[in-house]
Amino acid sequence: MRYVLRSSQGRGFAGQVFRLGRANGRRPVLATRSIAFATGHDAPGSFTTLSASSTDLQTILKITRLTPYLVPPRWLFLKIDTDEGISGWGEPIVEGRAHTVLTAVEELSDYLIGQDPLQIEQHWQAMYRGSFYRGGPVLMSAIAGVDQALWDIKGKYHDAPIHQLMGGKVRDRIRIYAWVGGETPEEIAKSAQNAIASGFSATKMVITGALQIVDSIAKVETAAAKVAGIRAAVGSDLDIAVDFHGRIHRPMAPVLIKAIEPYSPLFIEEPVLPEHLEFMADLRRNTHIPIATGERLFSRYDFKRLLTLGAADIVQPDLSHAGGITECKKIASMAEAWDVALAPHCPLGPIALAASLQVDATAHNAFIQEQSQGIAYNQSNDLTDYLVDPEVMHFEDGYIDIPDGPGLGIEINEEYVRQRAVQGHRWRNPLWHHDDGSIAEW
């Protein structure tokens, strides 16, 4: 690696290019403890000695390659290489639109190749503001994966976890929840009991199938019975979050909320689609159950409207959809100013979870983290399959430790990634229909 060494006064041998060593392939270090050089204002034969800390070391680290990997079950990984052998990993993905996001990443590579990977904020602004058309799930997810990989490189360069570069962590671990499910109240109750036996104290569940814009009370009662079944089986030993998944329309949402209120959900997620934030705000004002949303909001500007309307008690930005670590840290801070909680959305892979944990570490208002271990989508590969050391994502007593390794704090098994990328995937979410043949919300 080449560096330009300058004195603070700009005299002497300033501007001469030196080659410096690297400690453990990461942060650059001077080969000697200090460097002496003559200056124009010193007596003949005298030298000024400058340590590395009193010089300006300008790195000429450059991005050389972006390599995407489509891997099962439904993920897209991105590796960014540099000319000095430091690489970073990101997870740019829109579930069901992986190939579209991959194309967006390739388009961003036209700008990124040859750039200094350490200038993350500048690159984020260039990727976002450098396009006349901006925002939305595809572009923001592409930016998110690049951003994660750049932060991973920066952490490895400085031999520090990302949270340390963002000011340090406010917690050592964070609570996580397990997914529960089943077709009947009995099956769901059994799933919840298994979660407790595995050490979890919180779960999340989806309680409805397709509901018409106005639907029968029988479907509402069936949905409520699922929550009642869990509560009857486990009492207050388990916190139960309920995900409406944006399937419920405005006329039915307050009906279903009132039906499950007696069972004290931890929160209700996406009670209506994010296109209807004004009505979501009405729902929030008329229930004592916390309202959560955010997985389909993609920038701080989307969240600005959510917070201004007072539509949620909990924001759920997705680190692989909402612009990555750089943007989600800003969203977390915005939410904190409204005394709104943070619970990052993450039914994805290990890179997205690692990025989420780095933001959780630094956000005082973070209280719980989603993760995908054992989720229904993960049939062919699960959360930790792509890690060299799966123990870095070990769950204990319903918590996960914040990774303290360099960068994202995880090591990706690249050989296995390459093997699984041969299979790839073309995952698509189901296409649902109502009984009359019209399209239903999934």
Residue matched to tokens 């750089």:
326
Structure tokens at 424: 């790839």
3-state secondary structure of 314: strand
CB atoms inside a 10 Å sphere around CB 339: 8
Distances (CA, A) of 440 to 11, 52, 227: 71, 63, 23
Spatial neighbors of 236 by CB under 8 A, at least 6 apart, are none
User: Which H or E run includes 284?
Assistant: helix 277-285
Contact 138, 101 (CB under 8 A): yes
Q: Which residues are catalytic?
A: 245, 345
Among the listed residues 38, 94, 71, 128, the one whose alpha carbon sits nearest the alpha carbon of residue 429: 94
Question: Do 157 and 27 contact (CB within 8 A), yes or no?
Answer: yes
The two most distant CA atoms of the chain are separated, in Å, by 96
Report the distance separating Cα 60 and Cα 115, nearest Å: 9
Q: What are 28's strand-pairing partners?
A: 22
Q: What is the DSSP string of 306-361?
A: HHHHT--SEE--BTTTSSHHHHHHHHHHHHHHTT-EE--B--S-HHHHHHHHHHHH
Strand order in the sheet with 399-401: 173-175, 399-401, 395-396
